[in-house]
Structure 1
Amino acid sequence: MSDTVDYIVVGAGSAGCVMANRLSASGKHAVCLLEAGPKDSYPWIHIPIGYGKTMFHKVVNWGYYTDPDPNMLDRRIYWPRGRTLGGSSAINGLIYIRGQQRDYDAWAAAGNPGWSWDDCLPYFRKLENNDLGPGPTRGTEGPLNATSIKTPHPLVQGLIAAAESLGIPHVDDFNTGDQEGVGYYQLTTRNGRRCSTAVAYLRPAQRRPNLRVETDAHAMAVLFEGTRACGVRYRQHGQVRTVRARREVVLCAGALQSPQLLQLSGVGPAALLRQFGIGIVRDLPGVGENLQDHLQIRLIYETARPITTNDQLRTLSGRARIGLEWLLFRSGPLAVGINQGGLFCRVDPASRTPDTQFHFATLSADMAGGKVHPFSGCTYSVCQLRPSSRGHVRLRSADPFEAPSMQPNYLSTELDQRMTVAAVKYARKVASTPPLAGMMKREFRPGPDVRTDDEILHFCREYGATIFHPSGTARMGPASDPMAVVDERLRVHGVTGLRVVDCSIMPTLVSGNTNVPVVMLAERAADFILQDLRQDIRQTQQVAA
């Protein structure tokens, strides 16, 4: 394929694989997909519980750390991000969640027409193959599987019963728009294997002659002719190369690297760009600002009986049994991953919709992906769904291979502090409610000595960590908003031929896991691009006539 194509997609992650598939589907348009990491050939990527093996992998994970966060006792928080075909969808926790109707209605109300829940729902249905069957909010013909957990676990059953006694309804589907309830999560798995966007979208497209996939290709800058994006410079196998775009460049590098790449390319806050001697293509002060993330607080309990995944992983015979279960039947802990139980609830009486999410795991470790504890343990992971704290992503230098400065500013607002403390209290309430209470032996962390609000808040600052949802750093908004980066069709303000399609465009973080919302964004963006192309062709024909 020529070094000039119609569309360049930067980043083969949750959004990029979707874009590559949809833009190349007609066979009419030449598409080049650039991925900084390798092919997704590492076997543990494809085994759901392999999440623990990829969490600190030096090749398929960027392994970022934030700047010291003054609100988190100056700790640098580990931020894993996928670096392979499939991106973070190849290393994430597999949870299939859309968010709430109010999330998308708020986007539309903030000056982004066409982004309400009713506007997005057809795309959510289009992307999914849901084993719960068709329904008003569900689809069954899409590429991405939503798979229910078939085998009940006594601890999750206890969680469901305890939450029901507290007034939380038992649900099978968290994705109808209202979200409130307790039950088993659905997962992005297919026949006991991970269904990343590389599997769901890229594999079926890779044999197309009009699609070129370049791995180990680290984008260095978007190239411009005036204010029109015309190509991308990247490094591959030690050589600097260039690919040019006849029509558009689409950044799908994620909420950390898309703003970094914009800034490196001269699109961003003018003062920051001048600091590093970068020529200004467009002064957009919002690039890299508005960073949001879900802060995960992990409460760990020792259980009264040896019925946890800790127990299965602790012995050679236990590991052999679960390995055989996966090899023979594609079932068991290896096919499920880490978190099975889900709970969306309101810990603030003023909240009209759920404000807190539980990820309930039948194992325990000091951190996500860490070594399991030497006792029978489970984890109540809670997070505030709509944090008000805001951080930023900014260049450290003009070197495209140096990680940017990432400052989340977790727990920097009184609201977030109050809500997070309330979430911990609610998790303890659930754990102390029958029948779950009878299944718990002791609270290992934070422990019985942590009781007051101040003590709980200190615990959250000391142990809180990302739940892997950084977003908002190239936010969508009207041109009248000085901090908006893209318009409602995801075109970068003030330049042409350039869009951003990933978590960074979210004006506000969705209420839950971000993978499925990003797939929806990409489905919509592909339609925008193809609609705009048809409109351009019609206008050209009219002028010619």
Structure 2
Amino acid sequence: MTHPSIQNRPLKPSYDHIVVGSGSGGAAVARRLVDAGADVLLIEAGPGGIGIPEIDDPTQWVPLGRGVYDWGYDYTPTDRINGRTIGIPRGRVLGGSSAINAMMWYRGHPADYDAWEAAGARGWSFADVLPYFKRCEDWQDGETAFRGAGGPLRIERSPDPHPLATALVDGAHELGVPVIDDPNGPDNEGAALSNFNISRGKRWSSARGYLWPVLDRENLHVLTGSLAVSLGFDGRRCVSVRHMVDDVLIETRAGAGIVLALGAIDTPRLLMLSGIGDPAELKRLGLPVLADLPGVGRNLQDHPLVRAINFRASRPVGPPRDNGGGSMVNWKTQANLAQANVHTFPVLNRSATPDVTASYDLSGDVFAIGTGLMRSRSRGFLRLLGTDPRSPLDIQPNFLAEQGDMDDLVQAVDFALNLARTHAYADWFDGFAAPARHPGRTEIIDFIRMSCSTFFHTCGTAKMGEDAMSVVDSRLAVHGLDGLMIADASVIPIIPSCNTHAPVTMIGERAADFILQAA
């Protein structure tokens, strides 16, 4: 296809709306405001990333982490994960993390969003958010009661799944897990082919779906390579963004409002650098206190991933297909649970943390099964370690802090080990690689501590709700301030049992509606 280009326009002193961050939420809200005729400035710290082969190729997403399009953030080590550093790939490019992620379109269980409503996010039950999920989608099977068609984001199953992807589905069925047609239907429990933001072998990011079609619009100014430094206020109203343009600090004003969509790490950072947060934290850093919101940077959540259970293959796996996976299993560690809490997926190669690689022989033909917890209990935090917008951060998810999380992960690993010995894997399984055998509970716990990683689903650091630790209200407006909204993963009050790209896109769609309804 012919790639579009970002228009090189002079920066105006003022726009109707400024959207900071072009990822899943920011791209959606910017597009809807542009379609409504508003004059929009979209600020992105990273480059355009248009026409980059490694971004477009779905099989090449893993090396994008720790590359030039990644912010390079890390979770702070703890003894629970053997003092290891866990990297958190976050997209620093037009489209944000949707341009470097695994392209999974998955929104979890309807009960996830009913839990948001119960936690104080009024109007965010599944019935409330379903129309916005549908609005995002261009689902290959067309519109249904649960799926949308004709939306900006193309969503497809693999047209030719790898045999190891279908083995995962068939093997899970042998172990008693139901096979379902669509994990984005009324219930996500079961084994299924995955939904991907992939079409004709190319990544379909938020930039491609939402922004590329409108890059030539006169009322959209996309400014890449511009780092937001702080927000400007007139009394309690947010009126401007201070940002870097060619190494010069510029202040650009917004007449109608500003939307933060920098993600669950950089949105709380920008809030705190602007004097919005816990007064004790702000004073520790020598920052003025504009708004007393102690929840900024708290409630950090992520899904712990066991990376991964590796097996010897009886024959070459061959080149990767799709995103290097192709299917998923969502199941319950206890039959009485209300919804699936564990997620399992195939890896068409070896997959291991550095500690696992150093401890086991992963040479030769190897395939893997990744597994992790989608109903994690642990909560963490984010703290600034300096006042420069590029200063290091203390980012702590507190993985494995809750005993229940470890108990569930032990069962998840055991399930993955059993999967590979089902009849479905008979043509592939040639022994264990990491772990080197099917161990007992104590050894599985040791393996989890050395292999615990992240699904990259950081969220919750500026949560939506009405209690003292909430940062935004149910219309995504920052409490106590005017003209400032947040439309990214930071507003999620309780992590949903899925990848965060789909729910954050939905949040962006709703943010635009809230703005347009108030106009």
Contact 2:24 2:96 in 1 (8 A): yes
Contact 2:362 2:434 in 1 (8 A): no
1-side partners of 2:400 and 2:380: how far apart?
11
How far did residue 279 of structure 1 move? 0.8
Deviations 1:162-187 (A, max 9, x none): 21122212222100131011121111
Contact 1:348 1:355 in 2 (8 A): no
More helix by share: 1
Query: Larger deviation: 197-206 or 43-52?
Result: 43-52
Contact 2:16 2:255 in 1 (8 A): yes
Deviations 1:247-269 (A, max 9, x none): 11111000011011111110000
Structure 1 match to 2:62: 52
2-side partners of 1:77 and 1:137: how far apart?
36
Q: Does 1:236 align with 2:222?
A: no
How far did residue 150 of structure 1 move? 1.4
Q: Does 1:419 align with 2:408?
A: yes
Structure 1 match to 2:398: 409
Instruction: Pick from 277, 283, 287 the counterpart of residue 278 of structure 1.
Output: 287
Structure 1 match to 2:12: 2
Q: Does 1:388 align with 2:397?
A: no
Contact 1:255 1:473 in 2 (8 A): yes
How far did residue 438 of structure 1 move? 5.2
User: How do residues 92-241 of structure 1 correspond to structure 2 at under 5 angstroms?
Assistant: 92-241=101-250
Paired residues in the alignment total 504
1-side partners of 2:48 and 2:406: how far apart?
41
User: How do residues 9-88 of structure 1 correspond to structure 2 at under 5 angstroms?
Assistant: 9-27=19-37, 29-41=38-50, 42-57=52-67, 59-88=68-97
Contact 2:45 2:227 in 1 (8 A): yes
Query: Larger deviation: 290-299 or 347-356?
Result: 347-356
Scaled by the length of structure 1, the TM-score of the pair is 0.89
Deviations 1:213-245 (A, max 9, x none): 110000001111122111110112211111111
Scaled by the length of structure 2, the TM-score of the pair is 0.94
Letter in 2 for 1:155: L
The 3 A distance-change label for structure 1 pair 341 and 377 is farther
How far did residue 503 of structure 1 move? 0.7
Deviations 1:373-399 (A, max 9, x none): 642222211111111111111111111
Instruction: Pick from 436, 450, 459 the counterpart of residue 447 of structure 1.
Output: 436
How far did residue 462 of structure 1 move? 1.2
Q: Does 1:376 align with 2:365?
A: yes
Contact 1:79 1:466 in 2 (8 A): yes
The 3 A distance-change label for structure 1 pair 403 and 530 is farther
Contact 2:309 2:417 in 1 (8 A): no
Letter in 1 for 2:503: P
User: How do residues 521-536 of structure 1 correspond to structure 2 at under 5 angstroms?
Assistant: 521-533=507-519
How far did residue 300 of structure 1 move? 3.3
1-side partners of 2:164 and 2:210: how far apart?
35
2-side partners of 1:342 and 1:226: how far apart?
50
Query: Larger deviation: 214-223 or 420-429?
Result: 420-429
2-side partners of 1:234 and 1:525: how far apart?
23
1-side partners of 2:26 and 2:317: how far apart?
37
Contact 1:301 1:441 in 2 (8 A): no
Structure 2 match to 1:461: 449
Letter in 2 for 1:283: D
Contact 1:302 1:442 in 2 (8 A): yes
Contact 2:122 2:465 in 1 (8 A): no
Contact 1:68 1:77 in 2 (8 A): yes
The 3 A distance-change label for structure 1 pair 379 and 508 is same
Contact 1:385 1:512 in 2 (8 A): yes
Letter in 1 for 2:442: D
2-side partners of 1:490 and 1:516: how far apart?
17
What SS is found at the alignment partner of 2:24?
coil
Letter in 1 for 2:55: I
How far did residue 56 of structure 1 move? 2.1
Query: Larger deviation: 154-163 or 284-293?
Result: 154-163
User: How do residues 267-346 of structure 1 correspond to structure 2 at under 5 angstroms?
Assistant: 267-309=276-318, 312=319, 333=320, 336-346=322-332
The 3 A distance-change label for structure 1 pair 303 and 21 is same
The 3 A distance-change label for structure 1 pair 403 and 35 is farther
Deviations 1:341-394 (A, max 9, x none): 2111111233121110112122223259x9996422222111111111111111
Contact 2:312 2:433 in 1 (8 A): no
Contact 1:96 1:187 in 2 (8 A): yes
2-side partners of 1:307 and 1:152: how far apart?
16
Instruction: Pick from 491, 503, 506 the counterpart of residue 517 of structure 1.
Output: 503
Deviations 1:60-89 (A, max 9, x none): 111111222232122221111100001100
Contact 2:297 2:461 in 1 (8 A): yes
Query: Larger deviation: 63-72 or 382-391?
Result: 63-72
How far did residue 411 of structure 1 move? 0.5
What SS is found at the alignment partner of 2:230?
strand
Structure 2 match to 1:264: 273
Letter in 1 for 2:518: D
Contact 1:300 1:377 in 2 (8 A): no
2-side partners of 1:435 and 1:26: how far apart?
52
Contact 2:64 2:70 in 1 (8 A): yes
2-side partners of 1:150 and 1:374: how far apart?
30
Structure 1 match to 2:5: none
Letter in 2 for 1:412: A
Contact 1:348 1:419 in 2 (8 A): no
Q: Please report the RMSD computed on the Cα atoms of aligned residues, expressed in angstroms.
A: 1.8
Percent of paired sites with the same residue: 38
1-side partners of 2:186 and 2:198: how far apart?
22
2-side partners of 1:213 and 1:107: how far apart?
33
Contact 1:39 1:215 in 2 (8 A): yes
Deviations 1:496-528 (A, max 9, x none): 111111111111111011111111110111001
What SS is found at the alignment partner of 1:187?
coil
Contact 2:311 2:368 in 1 (8 A): no
How far did residue 36 of structure 1 move? 0.5
What SS is found at the alignment partner of 2:32?
helix
Contact 2:382 2:461 in 1 (8 A): yes
The 3 A distance-change label for structure 1 pair 437 and 301 is farther
What SS is found at the alignment partner of 2:104?
coil
